[in-house]
Amino acid sequence: MSAPEVGVLALQGDTREHLAALREAGAEATTVRRPDELARVHALVIPGGESTAMSHLLREFELLEPLRARLADGMPAYGSCAGMILLATEIADAGVPGREALPLRAIDMTVRRNAFGRQVDSFEDDLEFDGLDGSMHAVFIRAPWVERVGAGVEVLARAGGHPVAVRQGRMLATAFHPEVTGDRRVHRLFVDSLR
């Protein structure tokens, strides 16, 4: 079977690291900045970054509604950190009206932005992650957590008692950044779900 073509939303955030991780996990990876590029990929990764800035750029690049439509039609997606925030159906503390983070409504969950604290509160932890052998070293940078999951959402990992990795069908999200650790198991889990 040919490698799935996976786009990485390249408006803001750690695009290069996700491209490398996806390629190592067996995908054809490309950047997505425009609606026609979004239309050509089979799946999408939404990287970490700043969720309100990414929401603003999604509107500016006329990607918000096309992306919502593709996700509603079942396009698989993986979001890390800010990507997790944007994939939620509801964002707690979304920001200042007019400049808030906008939910893409792809995973039935409520996510709280910066839940673990500010940049200075960033941390690393070893997590048990359902479906992966052994623990996973996780890097949390101004990370969110999940406050509510819907009936169809599977919690894959927790930190401090809070869900930090979830899956709903072929949608996957983590509050941490596996792309910066060299551990490709989360990306492989996502790419394998596309085959």
**What does the pLDDT read at residue 1?**
60
List 17, 56, 179, 187, catalytic entry = 179
Question: What is the chain's pLDDT, residue by residue, as a tens digit (195 residues)?
Answer: 689 999 999 999 889 999 999 999 999 999 999 999 999 999 999 999 999 999 999 999 999 999 999 999 999 999 999 999 999 999 998 777 888 889 999 999 999 998 987 777 788 999 999 999 999 999 999 899 999 999 999 999 999 999 999 999 999 999 999 999 999 999 999 999 998
The secondary structure of 128-144, three-state, reads ECCCCCCEEEEEECCCC
The secondary structure of 170-195, three-state, reads CEEEECCCHHHCCCCHHHHHHHHHCC
Query: Domain residue spans in the chain?
Result: 5-193
Among the four given CATH numbers 2.40.40.20, 3.40.50.880, 3.40.50.800, 3.30.420.60, the one describing domain 5-193: 3.40.50.880
- Best CA proximity match to 174, nearest among 150, 139, 148: 139
Active site residue 179: yes
Pairing of strands 171-174, 162-168: antiparallel
**What does the pLDDT read at residue 94?**
75
pTM of the predicted protein model:
0.95
Active site residue 177: yes
Pairing of strands 28-32, 5-9: parallel
List 18, 56, 81, 187, catalytic entry = 81
Annotated binding-site positions:
49-51, 113, 141-142
**What does the pLDDT read at residue 117?**
78
Distance CA 155, CA 8 (A): 24
